[in-house]
Chains A and B, each alone.
Chain A
C-alpha cells in the first residue's frame, strides 16, 4: 500500500518545495520507489528545484482532464533511480484540481509507487486542501517565526478536520514537524524561537531541524535537491529526517552553535 505524504505549511516561503524535493529524493535513494507531485497549480516550481524544468511536456491538470496519460506526464529523475516528478500546470485555473480527478490519479500512482509526496501550495485554498486531503502522513514545514508557527497551527486544524481521514473517522494523519531555517546562534541570543518553543506550541513530534544555510540557495540555483549535498549540514539534516520518517531512531543534530576551534577561526573556516 502506497503511503501519501503531504508537505504543507500554510505560510509561503518556508521551504515546502525544497523539503518535498529533499524528502522524495531521500526516499528514492533508500530504494523506495517515489513520485513527487507539484500541487501548486499556476505557480509551478518543483520542476526548477528538481532541475527538470526543460523536460516538462504534460502536467498534473492535463492528466486529470484526460489530455495525456499519467506515463506521458511523469518525468523520470536523471540523478536518482526510482524517483519521478509530476509537474503542476502553469496556466489553468486553480479549481482544475477536482477531488475525484486527484483521487483517480493517486490511486493509479499507488499501484506503482511506495511513496507519493504531495508538494502543497501556500495558503488554504483548493490546491492546498487537495494536497492534504488524501494524506496518510503530513510534514508541517515551519520557520521559527511567529506567522509561520501560527499558520502551521491553522494547517494542523485543517488536517484534523478537513482531510479524508478526518471526514471518514479513520486513524488520523500522522503529523510531523520539520523546523527549517533554524539559526542556533540567534536562538542562543534570544532573537529566535527555539526548537522546544515551537514544539511546546504546536505539540506534534519533531521530524527534524534544518539549519539556515547558503547551501539551500546554491542547490536551487543549480536545480539539485539539497539532500544530495551530503557534506553540508542541510543535506545531512534532511538525510536524518528521511531516516526518522522511515522509523529509524536518529539523534537531532545542528541544534547548537558550532564551537569553532581556534585554528578554524584563524583560517576563517565555517
Chain B
C-alpha cells in the first residue's frame, strides 16, 4: 500500500465492510421469514384470490407479514390498490 493510497482508503468503506453490511441485512431478513408460520404464503395467496374477485391487483401488491413482539403477535396486511 503506497503512502497516497492510505488517504484514499479513508473515504470509502472496504469491500469486507460492504460484505458484512449486506450479509447482516439479508440474514436478518431470511431469519425473520424462517420464523414465520408455514401457512403464511398459502394464506397470502388465498387473500389475493379473494381480493381479485372484486379488484384487479397484482400479487406483489399484497404484503402479509407476521410480527411477534413480547406478548402479542401482529398480522399486518398491506394492500396497495391500483389508481
Asked if A146 and B19 sit within 8 Å, CB to CB, the answer is yes
How near does chain B come to A143, taking the closest CB pair, in angstroms?
A: 12
Q: In chain A, what residue has the closest Cβ to B22?
A: A146
Chain A residues touching B, range: 10 to 19
Q: Does A229 contact B (CB under 8 A)?
A: no
Chain B residues with CB under 8 Å of A192's CB are 16
Question: Contacts A190-B15, A191-B15 hold; do A153 and B27 have CB atoms under 8 A apart?
Answer: yes
Residue of B nearest to A192 (CB): B16
Residues of chain A contacted by B31 (CB below 8 angstroms): 153, 157
Q: Decide: A197 and B20 in contact? CB cutoff 8 A.
A: yes
Interface residues of A (CB under 8 A from B): 145-146, 149-150, 153-154, 157, 161, 187, 189-194, 197, 200-201
Evaluate whether A197 and B27 lie within 8 angstroms (CB atoms) in the complex, with A146-B22, A157-B34 already known. no
Closest B residue, CB atoms, query A152 = B27
CB < 8 Å: which of B1, B16, B23, B24 contacts A194?
B16
What are 11 inter-chain pairs, A to B, with CB distance below 8 A? A146-B22, A153-B30, A154-B30, A187-B16, A190-B14, A190-B17, A191-B16, A192-B16, A197-B16, A197-B20, A201-B24
Contact B23 A146 (CB under 8 A): yes
Interface residues of B in 24-55 (CB under 8 A from A): 24, 26-27, 30-31, 34
Once A193-B19, A201-B20 are accepted as A-B contacts, the answer to whether A150 and B26 lie under 8 Å apart by CB is yes
Specify the main secondary structure of chain A where it touches its partner: helix
**A-B contact sample (16 more), CB < 8 A, given A145-B19, A154-B30:** A146-B19, A146-B23, A150-B26, A150-B30, A157-B30, A157-B34, A189-B14, A190-B16, A191-B15, A192-B16, A193-B23, A197-B16, A200-B24, A201-B20, A201-B24, A201-B27
Q: Could you tell me the distance between the alpha carbons of A146 and B16 in the complex, rounded to whole angstroms?
A: 9
For B15, the closest partner residue in chain A by CB is A191
A146 to B23, CA, bound (A): 7
CB atoms of B23 and A201 under 8 A apart: yes
Specify the chain B residue showing the minimal Cβ separation from A149: B23
How far is it, in angstroms, between the C-alpha of A161 and the C-alpha of B20 when the chains are bound?
26
Interface flags, B1-26, vs A, CB<8A=1, else 0: 10000000100001111011011101
Q: Which residues of A contact B26 (CB under 8 A)?
A: 150
